[in-house]
């Protein structure tokens, strides 16, 4: 049922316009899962769920962001794959779509709460593997640059569990993962949750496995083109957290701290 819910969120127009059999074929999810989802939401059957998803179509004709992302993933081929200029233009357009969505959705993101979690944690641990590695590496670097002690969990040498074990109760884990989700990232989330470590999840949906039991979730979606996920939106979010923390610390100096205890914003070159 979780897979059915995730598919419904990612493809609302498909749910609105198709019978359950067609939806099951397209999603490779059993029809019964969509029916159970409808019943779990208080509907008698799939038809009522379909009606719920159809209502927004009467108010707006624009495709959803996730459907635009899917469009870039397959329906819109690169005009000339042998021309690097065409490839650059296609990736640039995908990045533009990602950033437009992030800007439009910014007001709904719990950014102040996320910055407060980072600011109040004794130590911040950051994990992001595979395609999320670059975002995690930058965020750990940027947080250190603005005076927040941070450690990146890399799993180097196969010692990911040992690296994570230095976390203590009250610390914060920032976990970053997008489909296909990293099993190692999820294991670290579960390991540190058992130790009393708080978690900020940066992922594509509240139904993400790393979002389960997280203290706070930041949803961000990046376009994917030919199997390569854009990192523009996720990187922009990481920059926002680091610089938001810097501004927050400037407004609220720690009690007893010397005037020059924190780096000046002019000295930060994140």
- Whole-structure pTM value: 0.70
Task: Give me the residue spans of the domains in the chain.
Answer: 2-58, 108-267
What is the CATH topology of the domain spanning 2-58? Answer: Arc Repressor Mutant, subunit A (1.10.10)
Q: Examine domains 2-58 and 108-267 and report if their fold is the same.
A: no
Q: How many alpha carbons fall within 13 Å on the CB side of residue 172?
A: 25
Residue spans of alpha helices (H) in the chain: 2-10, 12-17, 20-27, 31-40, 46-54, 65-70, 84-105, 111-120, 133-145, 160-164, 183-193, 232-251
What is the CATH topology of the domain spanning 108-267? Answer: Rossmann fold (3.40.50)
DSSP string, 176-188: E--SSPPHHHHHH
pLDDT (tens place) for every residue of the chain, 270 residues total: 888 888 888 887 778 777 888 888 888 899 899 999 988 888 888 888 887 877 665 444 444 555 454 444 444 556 677 888 988 888 888 889 889 989 998 999 999 999 999 999 999 999 999 999 999 999 999 999 999 999 999 998 889 999 999 999 999 999 999 988 999 999 999 999 999 999 999 999 888 899 989 999 999 988 877 777 889 999 999 999 999 999 987 766 555 555 444 555 555 565
Q: Peptide bond before 180: cis, by omega within 30 degrees of 0?
A: yes
- Cα 246 to Cα 84, 118, 266: the distances in Å are 39, 11, 11
């Amino acid at each position: 049922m979780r897979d059915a819910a995730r598919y419904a969120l990612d493809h609302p127009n498909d749910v609105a316009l198709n019978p359950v059999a067609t939806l099951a074929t397209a999603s490779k999810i059993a029809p019964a899962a969509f029916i159970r989802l409808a019943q779990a939401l208080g509907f008698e059957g799939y038809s009522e769920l379909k009606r719920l998803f159809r209502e927004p179509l009467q108010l707006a004709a624009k495709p959803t962001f996730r459907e635009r992302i899917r469009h870039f993933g397959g329906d819109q081929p690169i005009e000339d794959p042998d021309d690097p200029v065409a490839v650059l233009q296609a990736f640039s357009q995908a990045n533009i779509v990602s950033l437009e969505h992030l800007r439009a959705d910014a007001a709904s993101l719990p950014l102040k709460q996320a910055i407060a979690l980072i600011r109040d944690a004794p130590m911040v641990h950051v994990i992001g593997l595979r395609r999320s590695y670059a975002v995690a590496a930058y965020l750990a670097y940027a947080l250190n640059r603005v005076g927040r002690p941070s450690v990146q969990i890399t799993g180097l040498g196969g010692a990911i569990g040992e690296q994570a074990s230095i976390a203590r109760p009250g610390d914060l884990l920032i976990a970053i993962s997008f489909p296909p989700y990293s099993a190692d990232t999820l294991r670290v989330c579960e390991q540190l949750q058992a130790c009393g470590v708080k978690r900020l999840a940066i992922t594509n949906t509240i139904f993400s496995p790393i979002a389960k039991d997280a203290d706070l979730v930041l949803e961000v979606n990046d376009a994917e083109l030919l199997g390569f996920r854009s990192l523009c939106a996720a990187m922009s979010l990481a920059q926002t957290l680091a610089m938001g923390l810097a501004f927050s610390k400037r407004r609220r100096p720690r009690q007893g701290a010397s005037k020059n205890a924190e780096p000046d914003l002019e000295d930060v070159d994140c």
